[in-house]
Amino acid sequence: MSRDFLLLGYYGRQNTGDDAMLVALVRKLRAWFPSCKLRVTTNHPDLLPPEVVQASVESVSLSIHALIQGIHKSEAVVLGGGTHFHDLGSKPRYFWLLLRFAVLFAYARLTVKKVVLVGIGIGPLRTWWSRCLVALILGCSHVVMVRDPDSLQLARKLGKSMSLLGFDLAVLLESGDNAGRISEYESPILGINLLPAFDIYYHAAQRDQELVEALSEALEGALSGSNRWRIRLIEFKGSMAEGDTTMMGALWEALVHRQVSVEKPVFEKDPERMLEIVKGCDAMITMRYHACLFSFLAEVPSIWIDYHPKNASLAHDVHLPPKALVPLEVASDEIADRLLDLLAKPESFVAESPVHNPSTRLHKALAEIEARSLRNG
**What pLDDT sits at residue 180?**
43
Cα–Cα distance measured from residue 237 to residue 314, given in angstroms and rounded to the nearest whole number: 19
pLDDT in tens, 175-193: 555 544 445 557 899 999 9
What domains sit in the chain, N to C, each tagged with a CATH number? 4-174+357-374 (3.40.50.2000), 189-353 (3.40.50.2000)
pLDDT of residue 177: 55
Judge contact between 155 and 146, C-beta under 8 A: yes
Q: What is the pLDDT of residues 239-292, one digit of tens each?
A: 888 999 999 999 999 999 999 999 999 999 999 999 999 999 999 999 999 999
Q: Is residue 49 a contact partner of residue 22, using CB atoms and an 8 Å limit? A: yes
Spatial separation of the C-alpha atoms in residues 76 and 115, rounded to whole Å: 6
What does the mean pLDDT of the chain come to? 93
- Contacts of 358-364 with C-beta under 8 Å, sequence gap 24+, read 358/167, 358/168, 358/171, 358/317, 358/318, 359/167, 359/171, 359/172, 359/174, 359/176, 361/165, 361/166, 361/167, 362/119, 362/166, 362/167, 362/168, 362/169, 362/171, 362/172, 364/166
**pLDDT class of 335 with cuts at 50, 70, 90:** very high
Query: What's the pLDDT score for residue 247?
Result: 96
- In this prediction, residue 179 carries a pLDDT of 46
pLDDT tens, residue by residue, 24-64? 999 999 999 999 999 999 999 999 999 998 888 999 999 99
Q: What is the pLDDT of residues 88-123, one digit of tens each?
A: 987 788 999 999 999 999 999 999 999 999 999 999
What pLDDT does residue 227 have?
60
